Structure 1
Amino acid sequence: MSAVQSVIQAVLYEGYMLYPYRPSSVKNRQRWTFGGVFPRAYAEARGSDPWTMQVECLVRGGPQTCVSVQPGFLQVVDRVVLALPAAGTQVPLMGEPAWQAVPMLDVDERRFHPWQEAVERQPAIPPARLAELLGEPRASPFAFDGGSELEGLTDRDGHLRGALRRTRADLQGSVEACAAQVADGVYRLTVRIANLTPLADAASLTRDAASLHALVSCHSVLHVSGGAWISSMDPPPELAAEIAACRNAGAWPVLVGDEGQQHTMLASPIILYDYPQIALESAGDLFDATEIDEILTLRILAMTDDEKREMAATDERTRALLARTEALGAQQMQKLHGAMRHIRGGQGEEAIRAPDTPSPWAGLDAGPHLACLRVDGREIRVGDHVRLHPRSRADIFDIALSGQVATIESIERDFEDRVHVAVTVDCDPGKDFGLARMPGHRFFFGPDEIEPLGGQEAQP
């Protein structure tokens, strides 16, 4: 389950905090955009957010097949920054000081802002056999009590400077599950999660305030024993119509785990493919799966000291993200630069080609490799220096390199027998990536776009 759990955690915290990872950023003032299930009273009063989430999928099995539903979500915790009302105010020996809510508080090198944190919730739902779920839905209510905690903030001399007050609201909800037989040995399972938290002033609440009573990043993990889930993305032809008839609202079920296993499904508020995986090169969660790890990592490292101070004080997750990013070594950074998988060759390619059908790469691989090339009457080879002169057909990236000195990494021929010169730019601090044939630092130019250099001319 470790691989499955890593995907669940990525879904759970998707969008939790976005670059530049600071509460003061406009980008982070609209929170909780994925998988929100709001109280019914608020949803019906405002009409803009759902109060239920529904998942339907197919399972092979029989009446004694056992299924379990493990819902999960984040509960929002409101964090307020408090300060003593005036410098030199005496802290009472008993009870709390007369706190004053402030928009920002500096304590030594740390900077604190009001923020909405989150705690993970997993209601306990007992497993059931399909025979028990046929007919009427089986309801399992859940509840989490509200509360408030105070964390004092002291400076390096041990003097109390302020505090963080964290408050969470009461939550109430229900998980309903039912089953219906749709074919011989095939059942449709329906899971419905509802937010039934009572609210007296639902119509007057802002969305930000209503988030305190919401089930955020709501999802479900479905397990089956004595049966097998059927892919909702790639069903067998005879069950395509039954899959199309399934009604999913706010979540989409995909198979998770090792490729080919069918005993675990994740109903995610983010549409995924079957058997999603976290990239092996990723050093940890960046809370933004739509971005590239390398870009976010470099941007974090380029932050000013004040920006990093604010990021570290946001909460423990962003503090750990900053510490992990700053600790990355050169080898780990190089892994973030890119990876190419399942390109060609191996058993996978042979399996999809008919017997005796030549590989589409055979003609290219059989062609003679170019050891040298004659340009402007001069012979150039791998390792020689050239100056780049992009022609009118060049794109903006090629034009940006106009006049730069580069080193020939290889001379290649394409399917149409055209010659291309692959180069690394000498002034590029990442040219080592280009020499390793990784994307982004290796550029291709035609023979008419390069000027051979020699001696002092090769100096950039």
Structure 2
Amino acid sequence: MNMTHVQPVVDAVLYEGYILYPYRSTSAKNRQRWTFGGIYPKVYFDATEGAEPWQMQTQCLIEGDPATRLEVRVRFLHPLARDVGELKTPLPAWPEDLEGLSAAHFTPVPSLTLGDRQFHGWQEAVERDVRVVDCPLSELLDGQRQVPFTFDARHELEPLSNDGAIRGVLLRNQCAIEGRVELTLEPVAEQVYRLTVRIENHTLMDPSSVTDREQASLYSFASTHTLLAVEQGDFISLMDPPESLKDLASRCENLGTYPVLIGSPGARDILLSSPIILYDYPHVAPESAGEFFDSTEIDEILSLRILAMTDGEKREMAALDPRTAALLSRTEALDGDSFMRLHGVLRDPHDHLAQHPPLTSPRRVYDHNGGTALRVGDRVRLQPKVGGDTLDLVLAGKTAVIEAIERDFEDRVHVAVTIDDDPGREWGLQRMPGHRFFFSPEEIQSLESPSTGGTQA
């Protein structure tokens, strides 16, 4: 599987939610770790009556034949507990026989300051990549295939020195984990197959801690996602399937994950199934300098917040994790031009639709008054209905541009617009609150002629 062109998105998914602003372990948001894509041991699931899932399932459709080659990989983060200990008596040197350094020699502490350095207890993570299969479809048609995997426990001690003496230790403990991936392939139409990939956590736990979520998280698979690739075949988009396959696509059952096509727009050879809801062909904004890990946040806002931290808060952030230290260093190095690139982005809505179409949204909506089709990028005049929201009524008569057409869970259509004379209109195009407004199709009058805008009904 050639990951070069999809790696930035895949890595962003892997570390989404890894740590949240304000990037300190003392923050309430960071006290409960691993919020995305967690697969917990089945014994914990059973003991807590399903408090957290013990399996994840991806179902998708493949168009091909028995010679079509399929590759499946499962990626996740394996949590690792990092504790801090303060030596009761400083040591002049690190003992060669570490077995002789026991818990009796140090006191567990939440954090330790040595000179200008800080050390904090934390849960780190190790990336895991399980290559499940790489074979033609013909090998999977004979029956279910089960692929077990294990990762061993790990225990490490790291000395912490200051003023020529060892005064503390970092203790890293990683629990052994055991999982299984089950694959089932079945033909569902001519040259169309339904693939099921189920990931299960069969790790055993100490019965005394089997109901403790924090302990269970150390035996979990965090931020789990599945990558699938085909050769001489294609995946079917579950978000925008062809008419002939819509019924089959709607019957695909995905548990805790959302499969989307990924790569160059139009390509159908790689599928990303992740715990984060994405459109087909997600991409990382070119203005972004790197990961912020904090879901739904905006680079510019987080950069300004980080720069506004006190020196003490920045020291704590830098000491917590190598990734947060790199984030702090990168943010402090931003210059004025970099901030302007983050702030001043204005993209043509037509171009956005062509490159990354919102495939779950209707392509057009007919105006019930005039029979005109509305499209993203069309210019319109707002005509809010009598008795509507006060803010909507204030916008009556304003001209605007359609930024998106969206459908809610009750199948109602909403048209998102940006106002022509809004000084912050570019923020609306970036989907920032307060500069993007929603109206029903009946509250919008198209200003497009049939030759330049929507077609007549």
Question: Where does residue 191 of structure 1 map in the other structure?
Answer: 197
Is the 2:188–2:194 Cα contact (8 Å) retained in structure 1?
yes
Give the whole-Å Cα distance in 1 for the aligned partners of 2:212 and 2:352.
56
Q: CA deviation at 1:205?
A: 3.5
Q: CA deviation at 1:110?
A: 2.0
SS of the residue 2:225 aligns to: strand
Question: Where does residue 247 of structure 2 map in the other structure?
Answer: 241
Instruction: Give deviations 1:92-131, integer Å, cap 9, x for gaps.
Output: 7554551211111112222222100000001232312212
Q: CA deviation at 1:220?
A: 0.5
Q: Specify which of 107, 121, 126 is matched with residue 114 of structure 1.
A: 121
Q: Which runs of 4+ in 1 moved over 3 A?
A: 88-97, 202-205, 344-349, 359-364, 413-416, 420-424, 437-440
In the alignment, structure 1 residue 173 sits paired with structure 2 residue 155:
no
Question: Where does residue 144 of structure 2 map in the other structure?
Answer: 137
Instruction: Give deviations 1:195-239, integer Å, cap 9, x for gaps.
Output: 111224176441110011001001110000110000010000111
Correspondences of 1:34-433 after superposition (within 5 Å): 34-47=36-49, 48-85=51-88, 95-96=97-98, 97=101, 98-155=105-162, 157-201=163-207, 204-344=210-350, 415=399
**For residues 172 and 311 of structure 1, do their structure 2 counterparts lie closer, same or farther at Cα, with a shift above 3 Å needed?**
same
Q: CA deviation at 1:278?
A: 0.5
Give the whole-Å Cα distance in 2 for the aligned partners of 1:38 and 1:438.
36
Worse-matched range after superposition: 95-104 or 240-249: 95-104
Give the whole-Å Cα distance in 2 for the aligned partners of 1:222 and 1:44.
30
**For residues 69 and 345 of structure 1, do their structure 2 counterparts lie closer, same or farther at Cα, with a shift above 3 Å needed?**
closer
Give the whole-Å Cα distance in 2 for the aligned partners of 1:254 and 1:362.
28
Give the whole-Å Cα distance in 1 for the aligned partners of 2:145 and 2:128.
21
Give the whole-Å Cα distance in 1 for the aligned partners of 2:197 and 2:125.
24
Q: Specify which of 10, 15, 20 is matched with residue 8 of structure 1.
A: 10
SS of the residue 1:179 aligns to: strand
Q: CA deviation at 1:179?
A: 0.6
Give the whole-Å Cα distance in 1 for the aligned partners of 2:228 and 2:11.
15
**For residues 344 and 144 of structure 1, do their structure 2 counterparts lie closer, same or farther at Cα, with a shift above 3 Å needed?**
closer
Give the whole-Å Cα distance in 1 for the aligned partners of 2:197 and 2:208.
26
Q: CA deviation at 1:330?
A: 1.0
Give the whole-Å Cα distance in 1 for the aligned partners of 2:46 and 2:258.
24
Letter in 2 for 1:186: V
Is the 2:92–2:166 Cα contact (8 Å) retained in structure 1?
no
Give the whole-Å Cα distance in 2 for the aligned partners of 1:226 and 1:66.
7
Q: CA deviation at 1:177?
A: 1.0
Is the 1:338–1:438 Cα contact (8 Å) retained in structure 2?
no
**For residues 144 and 438 of structure 1, do their structure 2 counterparts lie closer, same or farther at Cα, with a shift above 3 Å needed?**
closer
Question: Where does residue 368 of structure 1 map in the other structure?
Answer: none
Q: CA deviation at 1:164?
A: 0.9
Give the whole-Å Cα distance in 2 for the aligned partners of 1:323 and 1:51.
38
Letter in 2 for 1:56: Q
Question: Where does residue 33 of structure 1 map in the other structure?
Answer: 35
SS of the residue 2:130 aligns to: coil
Give the whole-Å Cα distance in 2 for the aligned partners of 1:247 and 1:347.
28
Give the whole-Å Cα distance in 1 for the aligned partners of 2:53 and 2:376.
50
Give the whole-Å Cα distance in 1 for the aligned partners of 2:93 and 2:117.
21
Is the 1:68–1:224 Cα contact (8 Å) retained in structure 2?
yes
Q: TM-score, length-normalised on structure 2?
A: 0.75
Q: CA deviation at 1:348?
A: 5.8
Is the 1:117–1:315 Cα contact (8 Å) retained in structure 2?
yes
Q: Taking every aligned residue pair, what percent have the same amino acid on both sides?
A: 46
SS of the residue 2:146 aligns to: strand
Q: CA deviation at 1:262?
A: 0.5
Is the 1:3–1:277 Cα contact (8 Å) retained in structure 2?
no
SS of the residue 1:106 aligns to: strand
Instruction: Give deviations 1:146-175, integer Å, cap 9, x for gaps.
Output: 0111121223x4432212111100011111
Give the whole-Å Cα distance in 2 for the aligned partners of 1:334 and 1:18.
24
Q: CA deviation at 1:285?
A: 0.2
Question: Where does residue 390 of structure 1 map in the other structure?
Answer: none
Give the whole-Å Cα distance in 1 for the aligned partners of 2:253 and 2:117.
48
Give the whole-Å Cα distance in 1 for the aligned partners of 2:354 and 2:284.
22
Give the whole-Å Cα distance in 2 for the aligned partners of 1:235 and 1:28.
39
Return the index of the structure with the highest Cα Rg.
1
User: RMSD between aligned alpha carbons?
Assistant: 3.4
Structure 1: gaps (5+ residues) = 365-392, 396-412, 425-432, 444-460
Question: Where does residue 455 of structure 1 map in the other structure?
Answer: none
SS of the residue 1:125 aligns to: strand
Worse-matched range after superposition: 30-39 or 106-115: 106-115
SS of the residue 2:276 aligns to: coil
Letter in 1 for 2:81: D
Letter in 2 for 1:28: N
**For residues 338 and 190 of structure 1, do their structure 2 counterparts lie closer, same or farther at Cα, with a shift above 3 Å needed?**
farther
Letter in 2 for 1:20: P
SS of the residue 2:348 aligns to: coil
Letter in 2 for 1:213: Y
Is the 1:42–1:203 Cα contact (8 Å) retained in structure 2?
no
Q: TM-score, length-normalised on structure 1?
A: 0.75
Is the 1:337–1:438 Cα contact (8 Å) retained in structure 2?
no
Letter in 1 for 2:292: L
SS of the residue 2:294 aligns to: coil
Is the 1:20–1:300 Cα contact (8 Å) retained in structure 2?
yes
Give the whole-Å Cα distance in 1 for the aligned partners of 2:120 and 2:236.
47
